[in-house]
Structure 1
Amino acid sequence: MCDELTSRAAEAYFFRRGLSRRDFGRLGLGAALASMMPVTANALAVKESTVTVPTPDGEANAYFVHPSKGQHPAVVLWPDIFGLRPAFRQMGKRLAESGYAVLVVNPYYRTMKGQLVPDDAQLIGPELRKAIWPKAREQAGTLSPETCVTDGRAFIKFLDQQPAVDTSKPAGTLGYCMTGSYAFRLAADMPERIGAGASFHGGGLVTDKPDSPHRLVPKIQAGFLVAIAENDDERDPEAKVELRKAFDQTGVPAEIEVYEGTLHGWCPPDSMAHNPKQAERAWRELLVLFERNLI
């Protein structure tokens, strides 16, 4: 659902927010992102690195972060349509500080090893979004349900080979925007390995296609969190109903909620639509999901 309509709504919301462009410029990117993400209570010390993951289609570059000591559940974190960038590294690091070995992946590695969003970008504001949107759509078009699954298997295999990963515990996966559906697909493909999945303002979760993510629920054994943006729900109010029906019919536990006052893209801290209060609530729900199903 990431399109021009959601972009215009996000831009209007952005100019009403308290944290302005001037604030981002004054703080600098790292401090600005950190200021919008609460500090993790009892945060663990972590190790972080850039890694290369072998896949059937080549080598994927990714960010790997995990607690400095011990073994921990594996998590694959898929970024939104704008790809791997500082905001998602920050989110991956925060998750690692809570006790997980997290791989934040570049889904576009086949055609682009770099980033759509530069490291020094303060946020994906109107000008930057306009500049990178055509490329983002082009890159998104190189992916498919099939590449999601083959990549996901490779990412889990990589994680399971790392000393920091406890392979006796289930793995988790989460996605944002277009990759919200990836959490469904990987959980359905690897039900014996994936114990928890989460979709945040995910697009295309309920379609009329035979492989629609909601039709994959019978193959899923993982607990799920589906966090829906209010304006996405307004455009497709039946989606949550169909999702609820699919999970209820199979007995798979799932939290499905429309987050009041949110716009598509409200979770990443560099988004124009970022809603700090609701993003933090969604993050807390994610941690509850993972603690219940992965620990």
Structure 2
Amino acid sequence: MPDERGSRQNVTFPSGGRTAHGYLARPPQGVGPGLVVVQEWWGLTSHVADMADRFAAEGFTVLAPDLFGGATTHDRAEAARLKRELPVEQAVQDLSGAVDHLLSLDGVVGDAVGTVGFCMGGGFALLLATRCGDEVAAAVSFYGLPPDPEFDYRGLTAHVLGHFGELDGSIPMAAVDEAAIRIGEATDVRPEFHFYPAGHAFMNDENTLGTYDPLQARIAWRRTVTFLHGHLG
């Protein structure tokens, strides 16, 4: 079931010789660190745009790439199909293009950006930070890990923050612990992972899965904003 509101696009940027689309939100003061926000498997929905706006209100220049080329949905089977059919390399290319675009914008301070991803996007946030090296200084994953449990994190230099639900059946706590070990073994990074008494997607106030938890979402939000400002300015 497609989302009748459609994808929230308002900007284009170059990506590997083609044109990518996304949602750009600027801070009220017009100047601040760059931040790439990575969508869930529902697409570039109003919720993702709202998250981008919230980060912009905290002082960041935010770009959320549209990895599904305009498609959005609130149907789980359709979302699973969109995720399954998304070429990983194309997604990472578009995310890398978003990093380059942010760093080219007037008003983006510093020579590195941050990235925050949710669910599917949480895994891509870690992939992006690994691929872009020093161009990504801080990476935040909300209940998401790279799909390959043996993913090679060599190249990752960003500070890493993660938020995971203790009741999340899709990402066992043992998998999160294993990811922390693999990051520590492959890099000098010591990830900061937090567990919450909540299920998957506890940050999504559209409550698509019925697991939104306002209290845990507020705690994770404040930790994230503090973390990003601490490492990006």
Cα 1:58–1:141, aligned 2, differ >3 Å: closer, same or farther? Answer: farther
Residue 172 of structure 2, aligned match among 211, 233, 236:
236
Name the % identity: 25
- Taking structure 2 as the reference length, the TM-score comes to 0.87
Give me the CA root mean square deviation: 2.2
C-alpha contact (below 8 Å) 2:121/2:144 kept by paired residues: yes
For residue 282 of structure 1, what is the aligned residue in structure 2?
Answer: 220
Is residue 2:191 matched to residue 1:254? yes
C-alpha contact (below 8 Å) 1:67/1:164 kept by paired residues: no
Question: 1:50 Cα deviation (Å)?
Answer: 1.1
Question: 1:197 Cα deviation (Å)?
Answer: 0.3
For 1:49 and 1:61, the matched residues in 2 are separated by 6
Residue 80 of structure 1, aligned match among 40, 52, 55:
40
Q: Secondary structure at the match of 2:228?
A: helix
Task: Tell me whether 191-200 or 241-250 shows the greater mean CA deviation.
Answer: 241-250
For residue 108 of structure 2, what is the aligned residue in structure 1?
Answer: 165
Cα 1:90–1:144, aligned 2, differ >3 Å: closer, same or farther? Answer: same
Residues 50-75 of structure 1: per-residue CA shift (max 9 Å, x gap): 11222237433211111243421111
Cα 1:231–1:144, aligned 2, differ >3 Å: closer, same or farther? Answer: farther
Matches within 5 A, 1:1-295: 50-56=10-16, 58-109=18-69, 113-116=70-73, 129=74, 132-166=75-109, 168-204=110-146, 207-208=149-150, 212=151, 215-216=152-153, 218-232=154-168, 236-249=172-185, 250-260=187-197, 262-271=198-207, 272-295=210-233
C-alpha contact (below 8 Å) 2:117/2:140 kept by paired residues: yes
Amino acid at match of 2:228: F
Cα 1:87–1:235, aligned 2, differ >3 Å: closer, same or farther? Answer: closer
Question: 1:149 Cα deviation (Å)?
Answer: 2.0
Residues 99-146 of structure 1: per-residue CA shift (max 9 Å, x gap): 10001221101xxx2532xxxxxxxxxxxx4xx223222211222331
Question: 1:80 Cα deviation (Å)?
Answer: 0.6
Q: Secondary structure at the match of 1:141?
A: helix
C-alpha contact (below 8 Å) 1:170/1:293 kept by paired residues: no
For 1:148 and 1:294, the matched residues in 2 are separated by 24
Higher strand share: 2
Unaligned runs of 5+ in 2: 1-7
For 2:81 and 2:171, the matched residues in 1 are separated by 24
Greater than 4 Å deviation, 4+ residue runs: 203-206
C-alpha contact (below 8 Å) 1:266/1:273 kept by paired residues: yes
Question: 1:184 Cα deviation (Å)?
Answer: 0.9
Question: 1:203 Cα deviation (Å)?
Answer: 4.5
Q: Secondary structure at the match of 1:157?
A: helix
Residues 5-64 of structure 1: per-residue CA shift (max 9 Å, x gap): xxxxxxxxxxxxxxxxxxxxxxxxxxxxxxxxxxxxxxxxxxx98112222374332111
C-alpha contact (below 8 Å) 1:88/1:268 kept by paired residues: no
C-alpha contact (below 8 Å) 1:181/1:204 kept by paired residues: yes
Question: 1:170 Cα deviation (Å)?
Answer: 2.2
Cα 1:292–1:169, aligned 2, differ >3 Å: closer, same or farther? Answer: farther
Unaligned runs of 5+ in 1: 1-47, 117-128
For 2:107 and 2:174, the matched residues in 1 are separated by 41
For 2:226 and 2:33, the matched residues in 1 are separated by 14
C-alpha contact (below 8 Å) 1:73/1:294 kept by paired residues: yes
Tell which structure's C-alpha radius of gyration is larger: 1
Cα 1:158–1:84, aligned 2, differ >3 Å: closer, same or farther? Answer: same
Amino acid at match of 2:189: V
Question: 1:201 Cα deviation (Å)?
Answer: 1.0
C-alpha contact (below 8 Å) 2:137/2:231 kept by paired residues: yes
- Taking structure 1 as the reference length, the TM-score comes to 0.69
Question: 1:204 Cα deviation (Å)?
Answer: 4.5
Q: Secondary structure at the match of 2:168?
A: helix
